[in-house]
Each structure stands twice: as C-alpha cells, then as structure tokens.
C-alpha cells in the first residue's frame, strides 16, 4: 500500500539523532562538522525528500520553513559576529573606531568562528527537523510506560493540535482578508487572534468530550466516578486547595521541563551548566513518578505494537556504535571535536577514526533500501489470515 | 420494532437539567424510554435540547457539563449519576457533529483502536474488530491515512467506525451527517440501519433533515421550539409527522398533507403506490423564466487551478450575472469551495482569466476584491471576533471606508435586531451563520459567495435564509451558493452548476439539471418525474388541471 510509509522504530531514530547531535554540541571542528552535515543532508534527502516524495513525511513543508529560518539566523549570526567581535590575528578590513560597537578591525578569526557556530546550529536544526518529519510523534509517545499512558495520550493530542491550530489560523486570516481586512499594526491582530482563541477553546472542549466518551482514563466500573455522585460541589476554597495538592506532581514536572529546557539552551550556546540540566531532569522524573504512583492503573492494551525490523536494528546498532566512539574520542582526544580560531587562526586537528566513524550516520540511507517484505519481523506482525490484505507494505 | 423483553435500553425518569449558571432548564421533567434494538430519531429546531438529551445517554451531562441534574437516567441498566462517560464508554458509543475536532489520534487505524485500547481489549480481538469496522463503513482504503488529509465525510465515517469498534450496545449520534454530502450521509445511515437490523444495535440519532432518516426509524421524538407551549411528540414516525408543524416536515409528507393522503408516505416507494391510486394529473410547470441579461459580474474563462493530474479546477468557463442565484453542487471535493475561493482571490488560477465586476481578479488581493465581493466561509466562527454584533458590522464598514448599508437595516432584514448588542459567540448555530452573513452583507457586495450556509440549520432557519437570498437576488446581487441541499436549491436557485472533479458537468436552470437526476432529484421529482421539483409546482399544476381544487 503506497499511502502507508515505511517507518523506522522511533527509538532507532532517537539514537541516530543523539549520535548526530553530539558533534555540533561539543565542539566546532570544521572537518567533524562538515562530515556530520553531509551525512545528515544525505539522510534528509532520502527520508524527508523534496517535492514529490513528500508523501514520506506529510508535514515536511512546515519543517522546511524551520530550516529556512535557521539558515537565515545562522547568516545573521555570522555577520553579527564579524562586526562585533574584533579579536584575532587575521585582520581583513577595518571600520573606523568612532563607529558605535562595530568600529574596529574585522578579523578572519571572527568570520570563521561565526561560520562554524552557524554550521553547528544548522546541523542541530537539520537533525531536529529530520526527526520531526520522520518520527511519528504519537508512536514515540506510545513508548512511554503504561503508567504514564494518560500523559502519552495528552501529549499526542497536543501534537495533533498544533497543525490544526496553524490551519485554523490560515482559515481565519483568509476569511478576514475576504472581508476587506488588511492588518497594519499589532492592534490589528485582534480580528485574527480572537477567533483563533475562541475556536481553539471550542475545539478543545469537543475534543475533551470525545476523549471522555471514548473512555480515555477509564479505570473500570468502580473508579473515581463513583465518589462524585451526589456530593454537593465543594466550596471554591476547598477546590483550589485540593487542586494544589493534586497537581503538585504536574507542577514539579513543568518546573523540571523548564529547567531542562534552560539547561539544554545553555549547553547549545556553549555554556554548559550540567547542574541545571540534571536538576531539571530529576524534577521531571520525580514529577512523572509521583503522577504514575498516584494514577490508578488502568488495564490498557496496545494496537499493533512496533516490532524491531532489520532496518530498525541496523540504524540503532550503527548509531549506538557511533555514540560509543564519539564518547571515547571525547574522553581521550577532545581536540578531535574542538577547534578554537582565537587568538590565532591555525589548521584544525584531524581525528581520522572519528571522521571515518561519522559515516555510520548514513545508516538510515541504507536502511531505506531494506525491503520490508523480506523481513521476517514484519511478516510476524500480521496474523496469517490478514496478511494478504496489504496492511503492511 | 423490536419489542423489549427486558428493561428498556434507555430509561429517563423525570429528568431535569440546568446548565451551569443558567436559570432556565435545558431539560424539564423528561420521561423517555428507548427499547433495546430500536432506531430512534430525535428531531427539533436548533436550541430545543437535542444535543443535551443525547449527552445524557453517556453521562456527559452532567459529569462533563456540570450544572444541576435531577431525576434519573438508566442506560443499559446503569444509572448515569453513578457511572460517568468513561465507565459508560463500554456500552455507549458517541459520535459528535463536528468532523474537524472529534478525532483524537492522527492515523485512521489508531483512531479506530483508541477506544479499545482504553478498555483493554486483547490485541488480536482489536486487530479483528478494526478490520471489521473498516469494511463496515467502507473506509478500508483510508486505513493508513493521516487524519488531517481526510475530507469531512471521510472523517465522520471514521468517527462512526471508531465508536462501533468498541461494540457498544447503544450508539448515540449528534447530527453526524449534517456536514456530509448526500452520498456520504447515505452511506453512514445505511451502515447504521444495517447494524440496527442485523446486530440489534440500538441507535439514537439527532438529525434535522428528516427526509433522509424517517424511512429508517422505528420511533421519532420531536422536541418543541424552546419557550413554546407545545409538548414533545414521540411515537412511530408516521404519527409524529402527521401531527407536527407543517413547515418542518419533509416535502413528501408536506405534499401528502396538502393532498389529504393519510397515512402520509415515508418513502418515495410508498408515495408512488399512493400516487397510482390517486387520479390527479397535475399540469406541467410553466417554462423557466429567461435568464437575466446584462454584463456578467463574475466571468471565468478557461480557468485551471493546480497542475496536471492534481488540478482542482479544469478549464472552467462560467458567467454569473446580476440577479442570478447559482447553486454550485457536486460531491465533497469536486471543487465547489475552491471555485468560490478563486472568485475572492484566495486561490490563484494557474491558467485562464477571471473578471469580477470588470476587474481582473487574478491580479487583485482578496482585500481589494472584497470591495465588490462578499464571502461567507464554511465556518462562520472564523469571521466573528468583536464584542458585539454591531461592532462586527462596524468593523466591516470601516474596511470599506464607511461605504455600505445601514447596519440596523441589515440586522433587521436578517432577523437579528435582538442580537445587535450580544456577543457573536453567544448566538446559536443558525444565528451565528446569519451574523456572519450580516457582517458580510453590510458592505453591500455585488457578488455574494456562500459556502454551505445551511449546514446544521433547522427547517425554519433554512427557509428564512432562503427568503433572504431570494430578496438579495431580486435586488440585483449575484449569488454563488455551494451546497448539497437539493430541496433548498430547488426552491430558490435560478441556475445550477454541477461540478465533478473540477470540471463543469452541467449548467442550467434547476428544472433542467435536477429533474430526472439519479442523485440530485428532489423528493417531489422522484415521485412525479417530469419537471416537477417542489410541492408548490405540484399544487400549482393541480390547480391548473383541476380548477376546483
């Protein structure tokens, strides 16, 4: 069936993303960055594709916009770096000192640093958008343990909500334009934002009703539904204090996520604060654990759990090996990853083992050639009576 | 009808319900039973409480909605006060009206499995049931599709399939076909009938367009207009139809009542039997009035949109003159909406010319074209944002540099004077549609584009909208109306343009295009054939043939 794209196990993709993300995160060695960029681009071409093969990834268009934005930001970063950082030994031009901020020597060092930083960010964005396009977010969330199933569904609903909201915004913009409306300033956004919010709330309400009627969070015939019967609605004060007591795991999780995001940002801009990251992760884990321990366990089953195919195993194994090599190099020869153009421009170090190992990033390209029909793991997914209907292809 | 040997599937015992912060009850002292295996249609005007009644069936009222609830509802022996929607999801399937927002996951198969996953159905059973419901609703080709790529009709069938996959004893559907084309609706209804007949599934269906469903139903429950003194009518469809307000009944029943046929026929087949015994032979309707002259206000010349096999409009020629009300018809995805959007410049043709009021529409921005063209999109909610309806109209006028009609007169002509100071979001569905229309009409557009304006509207509101459109047309507005509603088109359109796959299939007066059509014939046309389309045609014809009547 052509409309059923071959997908790799999300965990395999995550490993790949991790392996591809290490070089831009830990250093600016141009050889390493260049090799990573080439590998990521190759994978992208095969899996995300352009134009006609977009059937592989339905939301590829949106991701392409993100990449364009990243290229723009990288370019701005280069210019900004050259104009404001006047350090280094290779001066190629000079702006009169009197000019505010940008005045002073323009150095090749700053240009190189800017280009390499931009490259690192671009690679991260490319890896992220590739994952975004090829990994089924819902499938990923389904990997969460059963106790967190409610979190998983909430997340997958949110995942579906984003493109819906984007589509709704387009619809509103067009409807207002057809009414003669030309937005000129920020205040003019009201006719666009108000319907978006109210429509969004209405949609959220319908969705919540649908979730409720489809038994989401059902806990069997005698769940907490029972306690609500006939009890008069509690007074507002009681309600809010109850809410705080009930919601602290969620708050802790939110706090942890924020901490994690800040930590990840600091890491990305080259000022790693492991403490923030660790604390964030710990808070998240604690919050999740608290939630899970409180949730009444619902008996829940899974439709079509993903089986590891030969292609999945190939990508996962290659990525894992690469990760090990990367971490080893990082420990034994960190300069293989790193490059510092200040104070003087010198040739970057070459770690041949690392460069060769980066070829492992191409595993998804090879995996895309594996014919799933010959894969025994795929054949076992379907009971034999249904196998002929082309459910898997 | 299946006679219930045991407790009825649904039993309402003196149920009253108030939404939060409302003084007026939405349900007052409701007594209602649905026998096991019955097919019940709940009808009534907008705001009469159909949705509230249905939501009592799976406990969404009161568990989800809040408010005050008195009395008792038992569904399959379970008291809904004690068992909320989650617990009832095992035995009650629910399908909502809006195809856009009721699907939870992003893949069709996952959607079908969702309810079963929540209930812990064994994986192999789950696989089997997914296959079954895929076939039952004819959606097997959609199994791997992303939900976002489905049409409204496809989504609604997925929603029904997903509700059925859990194998509930009762299926409640809140106007599930109001947004579908006639064929999509028929497929859903046929599937429901089959499930009802073969598997004994109890079906409770809220629906406006009675002509589609009364033939399938065992019982019809008609809720009265809110604030009226009428009581609820509940009984076999024939009895209820004979007793209900004559303006609300399907054309076939309306005709039967005018001609004194008792009992009224419910299906065309029954009508034909009755007609054979009737000796009357109405004179054919008069020839169609000649189309209005004048220069066209919308002119399409060889318009193609999109490329190659993916073209949405192909080589389309169309002229619309002032004083014409053109109905655009065709199945979902045939290009009706795209054609409307092309007129207002939201789509650019890849080839061909479009002139709108003597201006080249292919070069103008929508906001410029809006000077002459008014466009009411399918979802009126996309338009309305202001605090009051009056402010909404003032906003449109501001963008037309104050040129337009008197807002109060527009509101009065649409019967919205009472709502001028209300928040547009607080209006009922039908009122909201008219509010969006008012916000567009106040600019006095020469061309009016309407995309499915009657979806979810009850018979009375539909008639009022029809009258408004006829008045506008008589005043010289060019109206393009995309719709599936054959009876509405037969009543008000001067021309019908039939689209198929982006191509113009037929173009002519309604009598020429609709009569004798397999899919687009009105009930009256199916009965009398010839060029008869409406009840009035037949009555006028009878008056000519036999002046004594």
What pLDDT does residue A381 have? 43
Sheet strands (E) in chain A:
91-95, 104-107
Closest chain B residue to the Cα of A154, Cα to Cα: B104
| A385 min Cα distance to partner chain B (Å) | 10
Token pair 């959606």 is found at: B139
Closest chain B residue to the Cα of A156, Cα to Cα: B105
Residue B325, classed as helix, strand or coil, is strand
Contacts of A178 in chain B (CB under 8 A): 344-346, 366-367, 369-370, 373-375, 377
Of A219-223, B339-343, B478-482, give the lowest mean pLDDT range: A219-223
Closest chain B residue to the Cα of A180, Cα to Cα: B367
Write down the domain spans for chain B.
10-249, 250-288+525-549, 298-524
The CATH architecture that domain B10-249 belongs to is 3-Layer(aba) Sandwich (3.40)
Tell me if chain A has a CB within 8 Å of the CB of B81: yes
- B4 versus B49: the higher-pLDDT residue is B49
Q: Mark A100-122 as b/e (b = at least 16 C-beta within 10 Å).
A: eeeebbbbbbbbbbbbbbbbbbb
Whether B33 shows a pLDDT value over 90: the answer reads: yes
Q: Cβ–Cβ of A225/B83 closer than 8 Å?
A: yes
Contacts of A195 in chain B (CB under 8 A): 381-385
Pairing of strands A104-107, B39-43: unpaired
Instruction: Determine which of B81, B105, B106, B342 to mutate to test the interface with A (most A C-beta atoms within 10 Å).
Output: B106
- A158 versus A357: the higher-pLDDT residue is A357
Instruction: Determine which of B176, B308, B385, B440 to mutate to test the interface with A (most A C-beta atoms within 10 Å).
Output: B385
Token pair 């979190």 is found at: A151
User: Which of B456, B462, B495 has the alpha carbon at shortest distance from B152?
Assistant: B456
Measured CA distances, A217 to A212, A302, B155, B321, B520 (Å) = 8, 14, 24, 57, 45
Share above pLDDT 90 across residues of chain A, in percent, rounded to a whole number: 23
- For residue B321, name the pLDDT band (cuts at 50, 70, 90): very high
Tell me if chain A has a CB within 8 Å of the CB of B409: no
Instruction: Determine which of A213, A300, A301 to mutate to test the interface with B (most B C-beta atoms within 10 Å).
Output: A213
Tell me if chain A has a CB within 8 Å of the CB of B444: no
Question: Is the Cβ–Cβ distance between A49 and A60 less than 8 Å?
Answer: yes
| A64 min Cα distance to partner chain B (Å) | 19
Residue B72, classed as helix, strand or coil, is strand
Which among A163, A190, A229 has CB closest to B148?
Answer: A163
Residue span of the structural domain in which A125 resides: 10-140+309-384
Domains in chain A, number: 1
Of A47-56, B143-152, B213-222, B332-341, give the lowest mean pLDDT range: A47-56
Residue A239, classed as helix, strand or coil, is helix
Residue A343 lies in a domain: yes
Tell me if chain B has a CB within 8 Å of the CB of A194: yes
Residue A120 lies in a domain: yes
Q: Cβ–Cβ of A58/B64 closer than 8 Å?
A: no
Interface predicted TM-score (ipTM)? 0.83
Pairing of strands B10-18, B27-34: antiparallel
User: Which of B333, B297, B335, B303 has the alpha carbon at shortest distance from B316?
Assistant: B303
User: Which of A56, A55, A101 has the alpha carbon at shortest distance from A80?
Assistant: A101
Of A297-301, B460-464, B529-533, give the lowest mean pLDDT range: A297-301
What pLDDT does residue B373 have? 93
Question: Is the Cβ–Cβ distance between A61 and A157 less than 8 Å?
Answer: no
Report the pLDDT averaged over residues A306-328. Answer: 91
Please give the structure tokens belonging to residue B270.
């029954």
The CATH architecture that domain B298-524 belongs to is 3-Layer(aba) Sandwich (3.40)
Give the HSE-up count for residue B240: Cα atoms under 13 Å, Cβ half-sphere. Answer: 27
Report the pLDDT averaged over residues B253-272. Answer: 88
The helix or strand, by DSSP H or E, that contains position B18, with its residue range, turns out to be strand B10-18
Which among A223, A299, A389 has CB closest to B120?
Answer: A299
Tell me if chain B has a CB within 8 Å of the CB of A385: no
Q: For residue A177, report the phi and psi dihedrals to the nearest 5 degrees.
A: -65, -40
Report the pLDDT averaged over residues A298-315. Answer: 79
Please give the structure tokens belonging to residue A15.
């490993």
B358-412: per-residue pLDDT in tens? 999 888 989 889 989 999 988 888 888 888 999 999 988 888 877 888 899 889 8
Q: Cβ–Cβ of A214/B98 closer than 8 Å?
A: no
Sheet strands (E) in B19-164:
27-34, 39-43, 68-75, 78-79, 92-95
Q: Cβ–Cβ of B84/A190 closer than 8 Å?
A: no
Contacts of B86 in chain A (CB under 8 A): 212, 215-219, 223, 225
Question: Is the Cβ–Cβ distance between B268 and B450 less than 8 Å?
Answer: no
Of A289-303, A316-330, B264-278, give the lowest mean pLDDT range: A289-303
Four-residue CA torsion sign, B46, B50, B55, B61:
positive
Residue A17 lies in a domain: yes
Domains B10-249 and B298-524 share a fold: yes
Of A156-165, A193-202, B266-275, B339-348, give the lowest mean pLDDT range: A156-165
Tell me if chain A has a CB within 8 Å of the CB of B443: yes
Which among A180, A182, A303 has CB closest to B117?
Answer: A303
Residue A157 lies in a domain: no
Phi-psi region of B88 (alpha: psi -120 to 50; beta: other; left: phi over 0): alpha
Tell me if chain A has a CB within 8 Å of the CB of B129: no
Q: For chain B, what is the mean pLDDT? A: 88
A139-156: per-residue pLDDT in tens? 777 777 766 767 777 777
Please give the structure tokens belonging to residue B357.
């009021």
Measured CA distances, B283 to B260, B272, B524 (Å) = 19, 18, 14
Report the distance separating Cα B481 and Cα B494, nearest Å. 11
Please give the structure tokens belonging to residue B525.
């046309």
């Amino acid at each position: 069936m052509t409309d059923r794209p071959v997908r790799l196990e999300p965990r395999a993709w995550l490993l790949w993303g991790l392996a591809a993300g290490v070089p831009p995160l830990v250093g600016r060695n141009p050889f390493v960055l260049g090799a990573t960029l080439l590998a990521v681009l190759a994978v992208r071409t095969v899996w995300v594709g352009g134009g006609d093969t977009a059937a592989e990834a339905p939301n590829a268009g949106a991701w392409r916009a993100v990449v364009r934005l990243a290229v723009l930001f990288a370019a701005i970063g280069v210019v900004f770096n050259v104009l404001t950082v006047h350090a280094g030994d290779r001066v190629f031009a000079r702006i009169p000192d009197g000019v505010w901020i940008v005045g002073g020597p323009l150095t090749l060092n700053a240009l190189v640093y800017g280009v390499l930083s931009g490259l690192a960010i671009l690679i991260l964005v490319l890896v992220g958008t590739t994952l975004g396009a090829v990994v089924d977010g819902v499938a990923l969330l389904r990997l969460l343990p059963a106790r967190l199933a409610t979190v998983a569904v909430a997340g997958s609903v949110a995942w579906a909500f984003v493109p819906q909201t984007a589509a709704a915004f387009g619809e509103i913009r067009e409807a207002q334009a057809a009414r003669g409306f030309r937005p000129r300033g920020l205040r003019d956004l009201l006719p666009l934002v108000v319907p978006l919010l109210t429509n969004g709330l209405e949609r959220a309400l319908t969705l919540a009703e649908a979730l409720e009627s489809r038994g989401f969070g059902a806990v069997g015939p005698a769940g907490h539904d029972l306690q609500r019967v006939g009890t008069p609605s509690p007074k507002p004060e009681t309600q809010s204090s109850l809410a705080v007591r009930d919601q602290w795991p969620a708050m802790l999780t939110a706090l942890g996520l924020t901490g994690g995001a800040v930590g990840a940002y600091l890491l990305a801009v080259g000022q790693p604060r492991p403490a923030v990251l660790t604390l964030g992760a710990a808070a998240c884990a604690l919050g999740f654990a608290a939630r899970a321990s409180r949730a009444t366990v619902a008996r829940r089953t899974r439709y079509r759990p993903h089986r590891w195919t030969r292609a999945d195993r190939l990508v996962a194994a290659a990525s894992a090996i690469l990760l090990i090599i990367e971490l080893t190099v990082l420990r034994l020869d960190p300069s293989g990853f790193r490059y510092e153009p200040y104070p003087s421009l010198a040739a970057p170090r070459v770690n041949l083992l690392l460069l060769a190992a980066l070829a492992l990033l191409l595993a998804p390209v090879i995996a895309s050639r594996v014919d799933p029909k010959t894969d025994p793991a795929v054949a076992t997914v379907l009971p034999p009576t249904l196998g002929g209907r082309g459910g898997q292809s | 009808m299946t006679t219930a040997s045991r407790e009825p599937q649904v039993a309402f015992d003196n149920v009253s319900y108030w939404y939060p912060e409302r003084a007026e009850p939405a349900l007052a002292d409701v007594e209602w039973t649905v026998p096991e295996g019955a097919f019940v249609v709940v009808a009534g005007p907008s705001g009469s409480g159909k949705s509230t009644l249905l939501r009592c069936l799976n406990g969404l009222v009161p568990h989800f909605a809040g408010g005050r609830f008195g009395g008792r509802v038992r569904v399959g022996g379970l008291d809904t006060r004690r068992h909320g929607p989650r617990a009832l999801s095992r035995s009650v399937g629910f399908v909502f009206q809006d195809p856009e927002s009721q699907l939870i996951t992003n893949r069709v198969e996952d959607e079908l499995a969702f309810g079963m996953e929540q209930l812990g159905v064994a994986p192999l059973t789950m696989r089997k049931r997914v296959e079954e419901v895929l076939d039952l609703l004819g959606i097997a080709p959609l199994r791997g599709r992303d939900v976002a790529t489905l049409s409204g009709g496809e989504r609604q069938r997925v929603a029904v399939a997903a509700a059925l996959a859990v194998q509930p004893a009762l299926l409640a559907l809140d106007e599930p076909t109001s947004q579908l084309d006639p064929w999509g609706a028929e497929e859903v209804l046929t599937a429901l009938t089959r499930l009802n007949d073969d598997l004994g599934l109890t079906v409770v269906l809220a629906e406006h367009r009675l002509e589609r469903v009364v033939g399938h139903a065992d019982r019809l429950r008609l809720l009265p207009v809110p604030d009226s003194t009428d009581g609820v009518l509940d009984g076999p469809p024939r009895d209820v139809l004979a007793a209900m307000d004559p303006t609300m009944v399907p054309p076939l029943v309306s005709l039967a009542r005018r001609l004194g046929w008792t009992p009224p026929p419910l299906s065309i087949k029954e009508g034909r039997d009755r007609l054979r015994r009737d000796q009357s032979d109405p004179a054919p309707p008069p020839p169609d009035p000649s189309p209005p002259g004048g220069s066209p206000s919308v002119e399409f010349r060889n318009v193609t949109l999109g490329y190659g096999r993916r073209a949405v409009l192909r080589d389309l020629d169309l002229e619309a003159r002032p004083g014409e009300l053109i109905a655009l018809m065709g199945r979902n995805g045939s290009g009706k909406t795209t054609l409307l959007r092309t007129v207002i410049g939201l789509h650019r043709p890849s080839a061909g010319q479009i002139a709108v009021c003597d201006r080249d529409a292919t070069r103008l921005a929508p906001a410029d074209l809006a000077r002459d063209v008014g466009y009411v999109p399918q979802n009126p909610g996309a338009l309305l944002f202001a605090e009051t309806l009056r402010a909404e109209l003032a906003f449109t006028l501001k963008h037309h540099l104050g040129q337009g009609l008197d807002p109060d007169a527009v509101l009065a002509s649409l019967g919205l004077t009472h709502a001028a100071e209300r928040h547009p979001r607080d209006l009922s569905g039908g009122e909201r549609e008219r509010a969006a229309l008012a916000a567009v009409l106040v600019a006095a557009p020469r061309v009016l584009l309407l995309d499915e304006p009657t979806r979810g509207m009850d018979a009375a509101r539909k008639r009022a909208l029809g009258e408004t459109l006829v008045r506008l047309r008589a005043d010289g507005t060019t109206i393009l109306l995309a719709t599936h509603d054959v009876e509405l088109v037969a009543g008000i359109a001067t021309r019908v343009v039939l689209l198929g796959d982006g191509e113009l299939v037929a173009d002519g007066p309604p009598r020429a295009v609709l009569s004798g059509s397999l899919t687009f014939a009105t009930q009256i046309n199916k009965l009398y054939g010839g060029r008869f389309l409406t009840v009035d045609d037949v009555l006028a014809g009878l008056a000519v043939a036999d002046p004594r009547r």
